[in-house]
Chain A
């Protein structure tokens, strides 16, 4: 616990309140195959001296948390002061990266989680009702979306929905609109990511619920049948209550997973329309930018976000647990 959970959290916390030292800049003359130009570079000796003095960097407190890339306190206040009405405020808020990514992440989390629970349960009930011989094959096929690694799965779909891909062309033909592009519209990109999310996650809830169905007490079900319960009533009053602890478990796992949505955003190249905190971390750490403090701050915000999301479920589980004992 200490090594794998506490230490990394402490490490990102410390990193998120420190930033690199001020860079000492000097004027230089650079020469390359195309000639010489005046330019600017970092004075390494002077900067190294600063680094040796304080190896952790400058302590900046919560400055990074409140800057434009994260909670953007100042910008939000300005938007609020300038906004004409609450609707206009939210539209303008969408211009700030953190809030834009939150809008997508929360929409994604709260549409994928319930949908995958419902689909998972439907598949589990369907497969459970089948003949014994067919079950094995069908379970295997139902699990396929989960077996395919998320990045590959999303890349495959990405090329299929391309405006020259099989699904993209089919949609253009159906709606008779040659300019229709799933990738160019924010709304359609969101729908596509949500559909992908459900496709990928439903097998997980299916397999858990299917396992749960094997422990269903047959006598309770039979007495319900004798009392004249319809198929729907059996599901509603016998099966779902029996599976409730599993449903809570799957919901918990999925809330956490969906809040950290990442692979589909990379796979679908959808950063123009949808981003998440995890994608910010990836973007900050990669390439020429390397904003370590910013990435650490996004990590801490992710942890806080997951805790807030899980709080109601956790509190409820805790109460149930206490009530039983």
Chain B
């Protein structure tokens, strides 16, 4: 018994020792961020530093607490892990600091494309990329004689064949839950149609146009081949449908591919035939109907420079190339030096190679996203026309943007 403990203890010391030797900090570190495996890996890496207190609060509700937790002085959270949509809220409230000095001092190892520059200042350090892309079941498509779709039009035609042949009643999947998810699908499809969300250089919304109508029509046409409960299905529920073998094609997040290919989470048949594809285009356009995303970390503005430096060092250790091993590499498309793409990453790489557009980093994009998620639901249920739904989105956005001071 004693020997066993001794072995365990020494193993633990050895394992933490490797990283500890390099990372010494002098200050307080408190992390807030979203909750998924890749972010856990980063936070665990940061925690191996010694010399100061390191806490992490990783939760799916991180966006509800990060601004509040960084507004006080000194701020509760010294760093927030965010994505290109959620950094905007932190920028709008002015709670994160430029990192140019710290990068110059401690961040030489970072690659230039990891540095998120806003108005010439480095505001965040990105560590992973993400995008939605096609996933399909090769066995079902083969049985139906359907080729993997390159466009949403082909996807619709393929879905019809699969249904007509009686292979699956609801061959398509998608995270179409009313709210954030549905608005994200609209954003993808609208970009695919070549639409612009705002009148250039202003906060005035401009989506009630032919591209907007075509976008809604396509979303609705796709939803006809989905589980009738689609308005309540988020990425989790859609993944569950996939693992249950009920879906043949869907547009899904690259970061969700690991679990779909995990033999422990589904039947061997589903796992073996789950195949990743490039994002699809729509309406004859060449821009793929998807958005590129990055996840990265920031440093709080309202903390002492000692804590800021400690935070920077700990987070640098969290994304150190030594983080990558057999277990962590497939968790994400890492932007870290030394990352070799795994089969789970081909979709995201394809999106980047097709010049997909990044999700817009505008101060008022979040307001439009919220308005979209609430107002296009009536159209999806067939209760109103596409142009009425888009007019409602514009009205809801305008009311919110006026309140926030973006419009007069």
Docked complex Cα distance between A269 and B201 (Å):
36
Q: Which residue of A lies closest to B179 (CB)?
A: A271
**What A residues does B94 contact at CB under 8 A?**
42, 44, 47-48
* B window 343-388: CB within 8 A of A: 352, 356, 358, 360-363, 366-367, 369-370, 374, 377-378, 380-381, 384, 388
Docked complex Cα distance between A20 and B369 (Å):
20
Q: Confirm or deny: A111 has a beta carbon within 8 angstroms of a beta carbon on chain B.
A: no
- B408 near A22 (CB under 8 angstroms)? yes
**Given A41-B119, A181-B228, A288-B86, 10 further pairs, Cβ under 8 A:** A21-B405, A32-B294, A42-B91, A163-B227, A163-B228, A268-B232, A271-B179, A272-B232, A288-B370, A289-B370
Docked complex Cα distance between A219 and B358 (Å):
80
Docked complex Cα distance between A135 and B408 (Å):
65
Write the A52-86 contact mask toward B (1 if CB under 8 angstroms, else 0). Answer: 00000010000010011100000100000000000
Interface residues of chain B: helix, strand, loop or mixed (majority): mixed
Which of the listed residues A22, A31, A32, A290 has the most CB atoms from chain B within 10 Å of its own CB? A32
Chain B contact-residue range equals 35 or more
Q: Confirm or deny: B306 has a beta carbon within 8 angstroms of a beta carbon on chain A.
A: no
Q: Measured between C-beta atoms, what is the minimum distance from A237 to chain B in Å?
A: 48
29 CB < 8 A contacts A-B: A20-B404, A20-B405, A22-B408, A25-B203, A28-B118, A28-B120, A32-B113, A33-B129, A34-B294, A35-B358, A41-B118, A41-B363, A67-B403, A68-B395, A69-B396, A95-B392, A97-B374, A97-B396, A164-B244, A268-B232, A269-B178, A272-B178, A283-B370, A287-B63, A287-B370, A288-B367, A289-B370, A291-B400, A293-B403
* A window 176-219: CB within 8 A of B: 178-181, 183-184, 186
- A22 near B405 (CB under 8 angstroms)? yes
Q: Confirm or deny: B165 has a beta carbon within 8 angstroms of a beta carbon on chain A.
A: no
Q: Measured between C-beta atoms, what is the minimum distance from A46 to chain B in Å?
A: 11
Q: Confirm or deny: A105 has a beta carbon within 8 angstroms of a beta carbon on chain B.
A: no
Q: Which residue of A lies closest to B114 (CB)?
A: A33
Q: Which of A40, A95, A158 contacts B362 (CB 8 A)?
A: A40
- A289 near B400 (CB under 8 angstroms)? yes
* A window 263-297: CB within 8 A of B: 268-272, 283, 285-291, 293-294
**What B residues does A286 contact at CB under 8 A?**
61, 63-64
Docked complex Cα distance between A58 and B403 (Å):
10
Q: Measured between C-beta atoms, what is the minimum distance from A53 to chain B in Å?
A: 14
Q: Which of A44, A48, A186, A290 contacts B381 (CB 8 A)?
A: A186
Q: Confirm or deny: B126 has a beta carbon within 8 angstroms of a beta carbon on chain A.
A: yes
Q: Which of B63, B117, B403 contacts A288 (CB 8 A)?
A: B63
**With A21-B405, A67-B399 given, is the CB distance from A34 to B358 under 8 Å?**
yes
Q: Which residues of A line the B interface, CB within 8 A? A: 19-23, 25-37, 39-42, 44, 47-48, 58, 64, 67-69, 75, 95, 97, 158, 162-164, 178-181, 183-184, 186, 268-272, 283, 285-291, 293-294
**What A residues does B362 contact at CB under 8 A?**
39-40
**What A residues does B246 contact at CB under 8 A?**
164
**What B residues does A23 contact at CB under 8 A?**
92, 363, 404-406
- A29 near B405 (CB under 8 angstroms)? no
Q: Measured between C-beta atoms, what is the minimum distance from A250 to chain B in Å?
A: 32
**What B residues does A68 contact at CB under 8 A?**
395-396, 398-399
Q: Measured between C-beta atoms, what is the minimum distance from A272 to chain B in Å?
A: 4
- B395 near A75 (CB under 8 angstroms)? yes
Which of the listed residues A36, A40, A269 has the most CB atoms from chain B within 10 Å of its own CB? A40
Q: Which residue of A lies closest to B335 (CB)?
A: A33
- B169 near A178 (CB under 8 angstroms)? yes
Which of the listed residues A21, A180, A271 has the most CB atoms from chain B within 10 Å of its own CB? A271
Docked complex Cα distance between A96 and B143 (Å):
47
Docked complex Cα distance between A269 and B180 (Å):
12
**What A residues does B88 contact at CB under 8 A?**
288
Docked complex Cα distance between A163 and B378 (Å):
21
**What A residues does B244 contact at CB under 8 A?**
164
- B231 near A69 (CB under 8 angstroms)? no
- A58 near B352 (CB under 8 angstroms)? no
**What B residues does A180 contact at CB under 8 A?**
228
- A287 near B227 (CB under 8 angstroms)? no
Q: Which of A29, A58, A75, A95 contacts B378 (CB 8 A)?
A: A95
- B119 near A64 (CB under 8 angstroms)? no
Q: Confirm or deny: B99 has a beta carbon within 8 angstroms of a beta carbon on chain A.
A: no
- A184 near B229 (CB under 8 angstroms)? yes
**What A residues does B329 contact at CB under 8 A?**
none
**What B residues does A19 contact at CB under 8 A?**
403-405
Docked complex Cα distance between A41 and B118 (Å):
8
Q: Measured between C-beta atoms, what is the minimum distance from A165 to chain B in Å?
A: 10
Docked complex Cα distance between A252 and B194 (Å):
55
Which of the listed residues B89, B94, B244, B404 has the most CB atoms from chain A within 10 Å of its own CB? B404
Docked complex Cα distance between A39 and B202 (Å):
10
Which of the listed residues B67, B335, B395 has the most CB atoms from chain A within 10 Å of its own CB? B395
Docked complex Cα distance between A39 and B169 (Å):
44
